[in-house]
Amino acid sequence: MDKIDHLRREIAKRESELAHLKSQLAVAESEHGAQDESKPWPWPLQHHEYQRYGRQMIVPGFGLQAQLRLKNSRVLVVGAGGLGCPAAAYLAGAGVGVLGLVDADQVEVSNLHRQVAHSTGRVGMSKVLSAIAYLRELNPTITYKSHQEHLSAANAEAVVSQYDLVLDCTDHPTSRYLVSDACVLLGRPLVSASAFQTSGQLILLNSPPGRGPCYRCLFPRPPPPESVVGCGEGGVLGPVVGVMGVLQALQAIELIAKGGLEPAEGESEAREQRMLIFSAVADGPSFRSVRMRGRRKDCFACSDEAGLTLEHLETSVDYVQFCGVAKPVALLRPGERITAQQYREIRTAREHTLLDVREKEHFSLGSIPGAINVPISRFSRGDEMPELAAAAGKDGSIYLVCRVGNDSQVAARKLKDLGFDNGGKRFVGDISGGIQAWRETVDPSLPFL
């Protein structure tokens, strides 16, 4: 399998190099046929640039000056995933001068439904290299810079300082605070977006630098770590994250085209801070804009009394500690939990009830045969659950299972509190490691999620 993956990556790499050479040849041939090399070229853009960007330059209010500003801009995209792929594609298509991408991850099959710059043939390849291969085929005439690493407190200054504008296309609070702090300290505007399940948010921060609010102004305290749910658990619709990535590119292009990266004469006031919210459900896709607070006078990062410095950022700020780490759920004693292998022996040997507390969408994709679906959300809301009444009427044990063994403990504890264990006479417990452990040790045919 390793050899197959290696060969696939090599093929993708060679195909990308060939496509890049073909694109360069096409540009060179276009220039050679259009320009008289014996005479100085009299126009501010090259012939191929008028061809490539003409449709946007003739938009009222855009024009040549906006295109020149784009050509002279340097933009950094932090994250080459669901947000970063469409954002980078439209920035490259628009003709930014230098486009940098930061990401340490590799392409996975589960990325492909939403991360449109990657492909099946580049699974296992660096996301940055995969995205740049795609972007070069789209526009080979601009400069791409590869940063195959996670943005960290140690490298943030070295990376961010090379660019004029930053797009935060990450998906975790630790990254959001880090990117925002680096932009504040280095005086870079920041376009930040997020997407989850069927909704998304977009906001422009630190614009103009030193006047607009930063991420800490809007969110002084991070969310509780146990409330942070990633796409791997909560899911996301591909078009939703695509919409937000495109909007990030649009916001960046508008800012650059209108001279938002150029030094302002005198003090430039920050625009009214608003957050754009997108929803793909209810009566159909919709947008709304809500007013946000401005700079906080006591902000740790951007206030006049701020205690944050580049040296402090690099040596002292622990973003993981600041945002917290979700502690493993430990609501049951060891004797109230069994392994997946133990349950395999039990399930055919004795009467019992197995409750799967994953949400119905997860359950519908694959489950342990005989399991009854009672989503954890129903426990939390206190809904009536006739399935539990049926289980209460049986004499056998009650086992609970979830994705990885956290929600099942919560549900088991709730059942005990409701008296389903008959004062300790009936076993009520969960399968440690959940469906993931069942798949890994008992039934590898169960779909991988």
* 168 and 305 assigned to the same domain: yes
Q: 160: domain CATH number?
A: 3.40.50.720
Tell whether residue 103 is among the known ligand binding residues: yes
Instruction: Output the pLDDT for position 270.
Output: 61
Tell whether residue 183 is among the known ligand binding residues: no
Nearest CA to 199 out of 113, 285, 274, 275 is that of 285
CB 143 within 8 A of CB 99: yes
Burial class (CB in 10 A: 0-12, 13-18, 19+), 385: middle
Domain that holds residue 388: 334-441
Tell whether residue 70 is among the known ligand binding residues: no
Tell whether residue 171 is among the known ligand binding residues: yes
* 66 and 42 assigned to the same domain: yes
Assigned token pair, 358: 């994953």
Instruction: Output the pLDDT for position 324.
Output: 65
Instruction: Output the pLDDT for position 267.
Output: 52
Question: Considering 304, 323, 342, which residue would you say is the last residue of a domain?
Answer: 323
Is 285 inside a domain boundary? yes
Question: Considering 259, 289, 323, which residue would you say is the last residue of a domain?
Answer: 323
Instruction: Output the pLDDT for position 198.
Output: 85
Q: What's the rounded Cα separation, in Å, for the pair 178 and 278?
A: 25
Q: Which residue has the tokens 């003739």?
A: 58
Give how far the C-alpha of residue 281 lies from the chain's centroid of Cα atoms, to the nearest Å. Answer: 20
* Full DSSP string of 61-87: TTHHHHHHHHHT-EEEEE--STTHHHH
Is 447 inside a domain boundary? no
Structural domain tally of the chain? 2
Q: At 89, phi and psi to the nearest 5? A: -65, -45
Tell whether residue 422 is among the known ligand binding residues: no
* 271 and 379 assigned to the same domain: no
Is 364 inside a domain boundary? yes
* 299 and 338 assigned to the same domain: no
Distances (CA, A) of 225 to 222, 257, 273, 328: 8, 39, 27, 11
Tell whether residue 318 is among the known ligand binding residues: no
Is 417 inside a domain boundary? yes
* 314 and 366 assigned to the same domain: no
Is 121 inside a domain boundary? yes
Give how far the C-alpha of residue 135 lies from the chain's centroid of Cα atoms, to the nearest Å. Answer: 19
* 49 and 174 assigned to the same domain: yes
Tell whether residue 110 is among the known ligand binding residues: yes
Tell whether residue 111 is among the known ligand binding residues: yes
Tell whether residue 419 is among the known ligand binding residues: no
Q: What sign does the CA torsion over 142, 145, 151, 156 have?
A: negative
* 271 and 387 assigned to the same domain: no
Full pLDDT tens readout for the chain, 449 residues: 567 666 766 776 676 677 667 666 666 655 555 555 656 767 788 888 899 999 998 999 899 999 999 999 999 999 999 999 999 999 999 999 999 999 999 999 989 999 999 999 999 999 999 999 999 999 999 999 999 999 999 999 999 999 999 999 998 888 899 999 999 999 999 999 998 888 899 999 998 888 889 999 988 888 776 555 565 666 788 899 999 999 999 999 999 999 988 876 555 566 677 889 988 886 778 888 898 888 888 898 888 887 788 888 887 777 777 776 666 778 888 899 999 999 999 888 888 899 999 888 888 888 999 999 998 888 777 777 777 766 666 668 999 999 888 889 989 998 888 888 888 888 999 999 999 999 999 999 888 66
CB count, 10 Å around CB of 304? 9
Q: What's the rounded Cα separation, in Å, for the pair 150 and 105?
A: 8
Tell whether residue 299 is among the known ligand binding residues: yes
CB 314 within 8 A of CB 154: yes
* 266 and 396 assigned to the same domain: no
* 341 and 313 assigned to the same domain: no
Tell whether residue 302 is among the known ligand binding residues: yes
Instruction: Output the pLDDT for position 421.
Output: 87
Q: What's the rounded Cα separation, in Å, for the pair 190 and 78?
A: 11
CB 260 within 8 A of CB 207: yes
Is 328 inside a domain boundary? no
Q: What's the rounded Cα separation, in Å, for the pair 324 and 306?
A: 22
Is 271 inside a domain boundary? yes
What stretches of 106-184 adopt beta strand conformation (E)?
143-147, 165-168
Q: Which residue has the tokens 């050899």?
A: 3
* 318 and 342 assigned to the same domain: no
* 139 and 268 assigned to the same domain: yes
Helix (H, G, I), strand (E, B), or coil: what is residue 200? strand
pTM for the whole structure: 0.78
Q: What is the DSSP secondary structure assignment for residue 406, as one 8-state letter?
A: S
Any residues with CB less than 8 A from the CB of 348 and at least 6 apart, and which? none
* 168 and 188 assigned to the same domain: yes
Q: Which residues are catalytic?
A: 231, 402
199-205 and 190-196: which strand pairing?
antiparallel
Question: Considering 267, 290, 323, which residue would you say is the last residue of a domain?
Answer: 323
Is 39 inside a domain boundary? yes
Q: CB-side exposure of 141: number of CA atoms within 13 Å?
A: 21
